[in-house]
Amino acid sequence: MAYESEYPPFYVTVDIVVLAIRDGRLNALAIRRGPGHDEGKWALPGGFVGIDEDLEPAARRELEEETGFSVHRDALQQVGTYGAPDRDPRYLRVVSVAWLAAVPDASAVVAGTDAAHAEWRPVDDLLAEDLAFDHHRILADARDRARVLVDSPPPGTRPLAAAFLPSDEFSLSRLRSVYEAVLGRELDPGNFQRRVKTTQGLVTPTGRREPAAGGRGRPAELFRIRG
């Protein structure tokens, strides 16, 4: 085509803020940068978009390469796009489309995948540090977005909180702990119970109760997301 060379070429990448709840705190997958630019700093996982690949599939592919997880459509959300001319000094121009992914807590998942040196790190801790590239801002934006999504999930979508739960069935206190970790504050157990139960089409009771594991206190009823 006639105009092929008239416009500047860019590299396009996806960066993914992979979120999970660990020990009651919101964690993100971070990769310690090796020798070279921003050495030793934490960075977000990501990679280049393929020549025939749409953006969302590219994010999904990277996520699976890093964690092994295939998440639900609604658990992978575009956060924003970052393209300052100097954001990656290694190349002339890299524009990154940032995504957030909510995955269940699974400590072992990272090992054996691409990101052998990836680690779960509390988001608060990461945000208190100097991250590589513009990943500090990306992480902050992703956390803000996650808070909005957890607080008021768009109608018709699978709530983001569901993606953090390791099992289809869960107690409401488990669900509440997810909300608390994402929002960064404690919620009243009773009010949370009522709010979730009275929200149409959010959870359905299974009738069964939690196997008395730790065993102190009344066993909780088990629920399931969306019928």
Partner DNA sequence: CCAAAAGTGTTATGCATACACCCATGA
Partner DNA sequence: TCATGGGTGTATGCATAACACTTTTGG
Going by the DSSP 8-state scheme, the letter that residue 92 receives in this structure is S
C-alpha 49/C-alpha 46 separation (Å) is 9
35 contributes a contact to DNA by CB under 7 A: no
Task: Give me the amino acid identity at 224.
Answer: R
194 contributes a contact to DNA by CB under 7 A: yes
What number of CA atoms fall less than 13 Å from residue 206's CA on the CB side?
14
Site for its own copies in 80-119 (CB under 8 A): 80-85, 90-93, 95, 97
Task: From the list DNA, its own copies, none, pick the one residue 112 interacts with, judged by a Cβ distance below 5 to 8 Å according to partner type.
Answer: none
Count residues contacting DNA (CB under 7 A)?
Answer: 21
Smallest distance, Å, CB 215 to DNA? 3
* Residue in 190, 207, 226, 227 binding DNA, rule: CB under 7 A: 190
What number of CA atoms fall less than 13 Å from residue 176's CA on the CB side?
16
Integer CA distances (angstroms), 204 to 29, 130, 197, in order: 31, 43, 8
C-alpha 91/C-alpha 125 separation (Å) is 29
* Residue in 92, 111, 127, 212 binding DNA, rule: CB under 7 A: 212
Smallest distance, Å, CB 107 to its own copies? 32
C-alpha 78/C-alpha 131 separation (Å) is 20
Site for its own copies in 18-57 (CB under 8 A): 48-55
Residue 131, token pair as written in the block = 């991250």
Please say which residue, 22 or 147, places its beta carbon nearer to its own copies.
147
- Which 3 state secondary structure label does DSSP give 105? coil
113 contributes a contact to DNA by CB under 7 A: no
Sites of contact with its own copies (CB under 8 A): 1, 3-4, 7-12, 48-55, 78, 80-85, 90-93, 95, 97
The contact set with DNA (CB under 7 A) reads 171-173, 187-191, 193-195, 197, 209, 212, 215-221
